[in-house]
Amino acid sequence: MTVTGTRNAPDVVDVVALGESMVTFLPARPGRLADVPAFHRSIGGAESNVACALAAAGHTTRWVSRVGADGFGDHLVEAIGAYGVDVSYVRRDPSRPTGVYFRTAGDRADDTHEVAYYRAGSAASAMSPTEVDLEAARAGRVLHLSGITAALSPDCLDLMRELTAPRPGRPLVSFDVNHRPGLWGEGQDPDVLLELARGADIVFVGEDEARQAWGLHGARAVREALPEPEIVVVKQGKGGAVAFAKDTDGPCEDADGTATFVRALHVDVVAAVGAGDAFAAGFLSSTLRGLPVRDRLRHGHLAAAATLTTPGDLAPPPPRTLADRLAALDDPAWGRLRLGPGWTDADAEAAEEARTP
């Protein structure tokens, strides 16, 4: 086994993201996987998507993982590194392959959406407390994790438990539940995601996935099941997102001052894949900047809009000056804002005028 780059003491970065990334094959045209004649190669991985988006936004980031000592592993390391992400602590496995998957062009929530994973026995599934550099994983202001990793193998679950356990000097732990039913095989219990989330400081979870994984109905029920994290962000699809914070300085929806709701933007959607990762990146970026909870949610929605209006999983985030200006709009102006393809290239004045009648 070899390690890409050096093994010196890791530099402290803004965000470390740990998890599996795979080579993704995107269809050349819409249709069933059985009917698509050709695919385009790309990269996919919830955690590395967040690292890439944050690097593009000007933050220092690191991706910690394992890939095969194969061409697909080379491609992942090179492609993610090209975003400015530190990939020097990605381990290469000579006996296990890099995972790959194929998907159709539609929205993941659509009944016709298909995904074919070829990740069983992958290099990343062998991640464990002894098979990743824990010092490098913890050398960040924020450590971003996802529930996907917990489903890959018992060793990966052990690693997740190690990283979410309380310990002195632990970085701020961000956890995106990312419940993927197809990854949880017989004998595996997605309730473990609730356990891991309770060990995190910031949690992202969709209202729909909380219902599917844990039988919880409504954002308030999610917060009641997760009392420990400092912030729990419950995403409500096209409706918006609500953040429950122990100490919020933003406008609150509840009398007890713990919930901040921000409606989603009107977006002309090109492709829905990757929006959740972009939302997390936007929220974490503004968290690192110390912005109020309302503005963190707005920056999450703006980052998601950048991905929703482009065809791939990853999209350049809006320029910070533009995002800050839009996030500062009053509530009526925010509600009128409509964003379509190319909006991140527009100047701030033009973007503000791109509103519904």
Judged by average pLDDT, the poorest of 41-45, 61-65, 213-217, 245-249 is 245-249
| Residues facing residue 250 across a β-bridge | none
Q: Work out the pLDDT band at 180, boundaries 50, 70, 90.
A: confident
From CA 98, how far away is CA 149, in angstroms rounded? 15
pLDDT at 1 over 80: no
> How confident is the model over 287-294, as a mean pLDDT?
97
Q: What is the per-residue pLDDT across 18-76, written as a single tens digit (0 to 9) for each?
A: 999 999 998 888 889 999 999 999 898 999 999 999 999 999 999 999 999 999 999 99
Q: What is the per-residue pLDDT across 125-146, written as a single tens digit (0 to 9) for each?
A: 999 999 999 999 999 999 999 9
> How confident is the model over 205-221, as a mean pLDDT?
94
Q: Work out the pLDDT band at 115, boundaries 50, 70, 90.
A: confident
| Residues facing residue 266 across a β-bridge | 338
Residues acting as catalytic residues: 277
| Mean pLDDT, rounded, of the chain | 88
Q: What is the per-residue pLDDT across 99-113, written as a single tens digit (0 to 9) for each?
A: 999 988 765 556 667
* pLDDT-above-90 percentage for the chain: 71
Judged by average pLDDT, the poorest of 105-114, 203-212, 235-244, 281-290 is 105-114
* pLDDT-above-70 percentage for the chain: 88
pLDDT value at position 346? 65
pLDDT at 356 over 50: no
Q: Work out the pLDDT band at 326, boundaries 50, 70, 90.
A: very high
pLDDT value at position 145? 98
pLDDT value at position 357? 37
Q: Is the pTM of this model over 0.85?
A: yes
Q: What is the per-residue pLDDT across 143-175, written as a single tens digit (0 to 9) for each?
A: 999 999 999 999 999 999 999 999 999 999 999
